[in-house]
Amino acid sequence: MPSRRYLQLDVFADRPGAGNPLGVVVDAEGLDSTAMQAIANWTNLSETIFLLPPDADADYRVRIFTPRQELPFAGHPSVGAAWAVLDQGLATARGGALVQQCGAGLLPVRIVAQGTRTVPCVRAPRAVQVAAREGLASRLDAVLQALGAPAAAHALLDNGPRWWCVDLGSSAAVRALAPPLAQIASLCLASDAVGLAICGRSDAPDHALAVRAFCPADGIPEDPVTGSANAAIAAWLHRDRAEDGRVVRYIASQGRELGRDGRVAVEIDAQGEVWIGGAVQAVIRGTFDW
């Protein structure tokens, strides 16, 4: 039984104990899908990733698992994967850039130096708004009624995983809500969505948007900080932005309600592509036997 390098990282974190934990199996060759899913279930983190040799045109390959399923793309695993391959010497950032291979395809990564920190920024797959299937209206209405916002703007977005996105208008409404987890799980299972992401604008000096994300169908009542959800929200909120070369940048706050208080740097570039990034902290370095 080979020993494999293992990291546990906090992603979108300015310190250990903040952001979103991520399990990283560095030497994942020889593990099949069944073993990867079993390991992700065992770590019981929102996501565990497995680093593998890439095909042509990529610097590394990553597979991403929740405790229940494999995802083609996820934000904090992609940011963490880029940080981990540099930390472990699996890739070199040429010109401050990497290319990640994942289930969603080849994704460019920028590597930004902030003092002594290496901060990866990943271009998310372009989000597509999905028409909800017939029969979902009652489930969606139940969620919105339980949130106390039956008329809230909402959409189903697909950027690898599918996210229901709901805009409650204000950060105060986002932070005060009590999530209806049973109704959210029912809605997500019926619509092949990974979770429900809720946002509201903030006047705080250090962030422009408050976000919370709930994935009870995957055994994650509330995810601490969620890159793919933030990318879907950014694409949705700025869907009417003219292709005029204007770049939008802001900071999203997520995880405060769980004591994790993460920060996601979001950019919508001149082509309308969404980039997400943030600081990474290594909390555990060791070996993994399976």
241 band by pLDDT with thresholds 50, 70 and 90: low
Question: In this predicted structure, what is the pLDDT of residue 117?
Answer: 86
Question: In this predicted structure, what is the pLDDT of residue 2?
Answer: 80
Domain coordinates in residue numbering, the chain: 3-124+278-289, 128-277
Question: In this predicted structure, what is the pLDDT of residue 8?
Answer: 98
Q: Which of 47, 134, 243, 273 is catalytic?
A: 47
Q: Do domains 3-124+278-289 and 128-277 have the same CATH topology?
A: yes
Average pLDDT in the chain: 95
3 state SS of 107: strand
Question: In this predicted structure, what is the pLDDT of residue 267?
Answer: 96
Q: Would the pLDDT of 243 be above 70?
A: no
Q: Domain 128-277, CATH 1.10.287.130 — does that match?
A: no
Dihedral angle computed from the Cα positions of residues 158, 208, 197 and 71, in that order, rounded to the nearest 10 degrees: 50
| CATH of span 3-124+278-289 | 3.10.310.10
Q: Which of 224, 225, 250, 263 is nearest to 14 (CA)?
A: 263
Q: Would the pLDDT of 115 be above 90?
A: no
Which DSSP letter does residue 254 get? E
Cβ contacts of residue 287 below 8 Å, gap of 6+? 3, 4, 5, 6
Whole-model pTM: value is 0.94
Q: What Å distances lie between residue 213 and 51, 166, 181, CA to CA?
A: 26, 10, 11
Output the six-digit token pair for 111.
């590597």
Question: In this predicted structure, what is the pLDDT of residue 242?
Answer: 57
Does 243 qualify as catalytic in the annotation? Answer: no
